[in-house]
């Protein structure tokens, strides 16, 4: 689906332009891809209500997120980046912009047929990630999960064996970091 030629600057439904201009460039950036994936992982095992709250936070970050960069307002949400009309609206100074707080954001209505009533801004993209991670920790679920990039699968961490395996992987990764620091210190003569 490609937006109608009568209004090429805005479409209420995700289309090819939205996916290619909005999502693809951001998901190619590892930190953003991790952010998007962590929201999805936080939903596993959660109640329907918690999943809805995560989905709303996703909507107001991954789709319509704003952050500051060098003191200036910037868009990182795919819905904004793929719609010049909504981007102009969001950055016009006339749109309602509130600080991003997942506990507040998760209760905001998501509008899919017109511009948003409100947008949420973080002091930085990294701040948005930290706030979402802290919010995700408050969600009640019977287990914890992690994505294993080696097996490209989701692992459920709910017993000592799974935790022991994870700790061993982390030890190995820290050993690599330690080796790199040692080599760097040797090169610098420290």
Residue indicated by tokens 């080696």: 150
Cβ-count burial 45-60 (b if 16+ within 10 Å, e if not): bbeeebeebbebbbbb
Q: Which residues does residue 156 pair with via DSSP β-bridges, in sequence order?
A: 145
Identify the active-site residue in 4, 5, 13, 23: 23
- Check residue 22 and give its pLDDT: 72
Residues 104, 61: Cα–Cα separation, whole Å = 13
DSSP H helical ranges for 44-150: 48-58, 78-81, 84-91, 102-105, 125-137
- Check residue 11 and give its pLDDT: 59
- Asked if 89 is an active-site residue, the reply is no
- Asked if 43 is an active-site residue, the reply is no
Identify the active-site residue in 43, 82, 83, 122: 82
Low-confidence ranges of the chain (pLDDT < 50): none
Residue indicated by tokens 């047929």: 113
- Asked if 23 is an active-site residue, the reply is yes
Sheet of 66-69, strand order: 72-75, 66-69, 118-122, 96-99
Residues 65, 72: Cα–Cα separation, whole Å = 14
Residue pLDDT, tens place only, 1-16 = 665 567 665 556 666 7
- Asked if 169 is an active-site residue, the reply is no
- Check residue 26 and give its pLDDT: 85
Residue pLDDT, tens place only, 58-88 = 999 999 999 999 999 999 999 998 888 999 9
């Amino acid at each position: 689906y490609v937006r109608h030629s009568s209004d090429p600057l805005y479409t209420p439904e995700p289309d090819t332009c939205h996916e290619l201009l909005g999502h693809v460039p951001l998901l190619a950036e590892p930190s953003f891809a991790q952010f998007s994936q962590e929201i999805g992982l936080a939903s596993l095992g959660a109640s329907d209500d918690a999943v809805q709250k995560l989905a709303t936070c996703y909507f107001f970050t991954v789709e319509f997120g704003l952050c500051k960069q060098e003191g200036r307002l910037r868009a990182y949400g795919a819905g904004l980046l793929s719609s010049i009309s909504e981007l102009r609206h969001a950055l016009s100074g006339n749109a309602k912009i509130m600080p991003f707080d997942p506990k507040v954001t998760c209760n905001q209505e998501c509008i899919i047929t017109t511009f948003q009533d409100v947008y949420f801004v973080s002091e930085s993209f990294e701040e948005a990630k930290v706030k979402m991670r802290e919010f995700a920790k408050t969600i009640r679920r019977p287990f914890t999960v992690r994505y294993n990039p080696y097996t490209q699968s989701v692992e459920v961490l709910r017993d000592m064996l799974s935790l022991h395996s994870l700790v061993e992987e982390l030890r190995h990764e820290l050993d690599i970091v330690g080796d790199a620091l040692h080599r760097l210190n040797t090169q610098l003569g420290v």
